[in-house]
Structure formats: C-alpha cells, structure tokens
Amino acid sequence: MELEGLHHVTAVTGNASGNVAFYTQALGMRLVKKTVNQDDVSAYHLFYADERGSPGTEVTFFDWPYLEPNRLGTGMVGAIGLRVSGSGALEWWAERLDRLGVRRGEIKDRGGRATLPFTDPEGQRLELIEDGDGGVPWDRSPVPKEMAIRGLHSVTLLVESLAPTERVLTEVMGFRRAGSYALPEVTSREVVVFECGPGGPGAEVHVEERPEMPRGRLGVGGVHHVAYRTPDDEQHRIWRDRVSGAGLGVTPVIDRFYFRSIYFREPGGVLFEIATDGPGFATDEDPEHLGERLSLPPFLEQHRAEIEAGLRPIEPVPTGGFR
C-alpha cells in the first residue's frame, strides 16, 4: 500500500473574484468546483484543476478575507510546484506572466529541472516546472493546450529541523528519500526530495531545513494544507490506523462529498491530509458544466438560501494587471 502522490494543495485567498480571475484567466486552470468550506460556510472553497478535476491536478482555496497576509516561515509550505510540458514552455510562460504583470523570478535549474518561480496577486508562491506529462488540459482554457498547467508537480515544506518530518514521511507515510539539491541563494543546506508511489513529478515533497527562519503564520497568500492520494476507502482506513498508531493526532474520516479525508499535522508543523481519489467532482454536476454554480453537499443543500446570502458574489475582474 502506497500513497499515489499529491491529491491537492489548499491555500488561502482574501479575494475570491480576483482569485478566480487569476487561476482561470491568467493560469488557464479550470474552476471545477465552487463550493463552501464545510467547517465555515461563510467561506468559498474554490477548486482549480485540469479539465476533469483529476486528483493530483487540484489547487484549491479557502476565501478568508479577514486574515492578515501570510507570514512565511517554518511549519509552512514554501511553494506550490505546477507541471508544464514541452520545450520552451517556461520561456513562453515567462513572457505571458510579464505581459499580465505577474511578479516572477528567473528560470533556474533546480535539482535538474527547469523551474520558473512566481507569485499570485496575493503573494502565494508558485513554481512552474518543466516535466512533460500530467492531466488533461481544459478545452476552453485561454492558455493553449500545449502550454497548459497539467497538475501538481511538488510542494516544498519549510521546517526548522529535517529529521522529525523525514521520519513521518518515510516511516509512517511510505515516502522514499529520492535525492537532494543545493539552493545556494536561499540556504546553505541541501533541499531533500522525498517521493511516494510512482515517484517523480506529482509525487514529490521537497523539504527545506531552515532553522534560521521564524515560525510562519498562516494568512492570505499562504498554504493551509497538503493532501495526498489514496485510491479507496479500505486503504484510507488503513492509513488512518497507521497515522494514529504512530502517535500523531488524526481526525476521524470526514466525508467531503467529493472525496473522503483525514487530517494530521506532521512534526514540522505542516497540516497534511490523506484523501480518497473518488467519488470526484462529477458526482453532483455534469462534467461539461463543472464549477459554474455553487455546489453544496446534500447536508448543506437545505441551507442554500442562507449560505448564498452570506457569500460575496464572484464578479468578473479585468484581466491584465495581476500585480
């Protein structure tokens, strides 16, 4: 039994309309589900993914406008890596991001792969990584298919000390140490790469040991949690037993309607989730029309009127000017 890779990464936005505009119009991802945070129905939960909403391609956001800007530090995700394919893809993206006024860094080799770092308008740190494969590009994307973002590549965790996080990744979650690379402009220590399941793009966690950094504080532009894939309910229950047996506090299995979840905090401070691949986003919507209306799981449907009244409408915003 192995985790099959990254399932989704969930971050925080303070501006749902701007968030939809950026991820769909600038990045060309598909909004596959517009729902609410089940534990705080005053907040949208927005899911961007490939055309089908495949596990492993999703970046999702809670809309919490009252939070302060994220303070990056240990116990947090330092960057979300996204896959693009084809030679020249990063140069094409660099030009596109410049044209749209998106803040970006230079294309650099990182651990043997070309990487383009950039931030969304709220400071969320993202990276495009050239790797050649992944999910199914959205048919109606403003980004040409051959340049499309094809899913999650990796996440980078910032931790005060590598060893406790490494122990949970390898001894509890079945990750393997897959290599390391230097990041001399950032840290004198090697960044260690761990992989699970099939390994490689989509199944990597990079851990940066950064004892000099202050503890992070979650806010707008930061990552709330990272979720990993398991194929079915039976394995999901075994994972829960394993995490619990390792002495990590873990939630009961929670039915998120589109998948089932358990949550626990790894010792470095990052919140982890293990989620089932199914039932998926087409469970309550026609695959042709995913994300076009507010979806509510059955137990919230009866409260639709008051939930809708408590949400700020998502308005189109002018594109071009994502700084």
Which chain residues interact with Zn ion by CB under 5 A?
A: 10, 227, 273
- Is 16 or 84 the residue whose CB approaches Zn ion more closely? 16
Query: CB 8 → Zn ion: shortest distance, Å?
Result: 6
Using the minimum distance from each CB to Zn ion, give the nearer residue, 8 or 153: 8
**Minimal distance, residue 181 CB to Zn ion, in Å:** 28
- Cβ closest to Zn ion, residue 55 vs residue 135: 55
Other beta carbons within 10 angstroms of residue 109's beta carbon come to: 9
Residue 58 vs 209, nearer CB to Zn ion: 58
Cis peptide upstream of residue 279 (ω within 30 degrees of 0):
yes
Give strand pairing partners of 294.
34
Q: How far is CA 77 from CA 27, 124, 173, 202, 277, in A?
A: 20, 10, 18, 16, 22
Distance of CA 171 to the CA centre of its chain: 24
Contact 211, 161 (CB under 8 A): yes
175 vs 258 by CB, closer to Zn ion: 258
Helix, strand, coil % in the chain, rounded to nearest 5? 20, 40, 40
Smallest separation, CB 174 to Zn ion (Å): 20
Alpha-carbon gap, residue 226 to 175, rounded angstroms = 15
Q: How far is the CB of 39 from Zn ion (least distance, A)?
A: 11
Q: For residue 83, give the H/E element and its range.
A: strand 76-84
Q: How far is the CB of 113 from Zn ion (least distance, A)?
A: 26
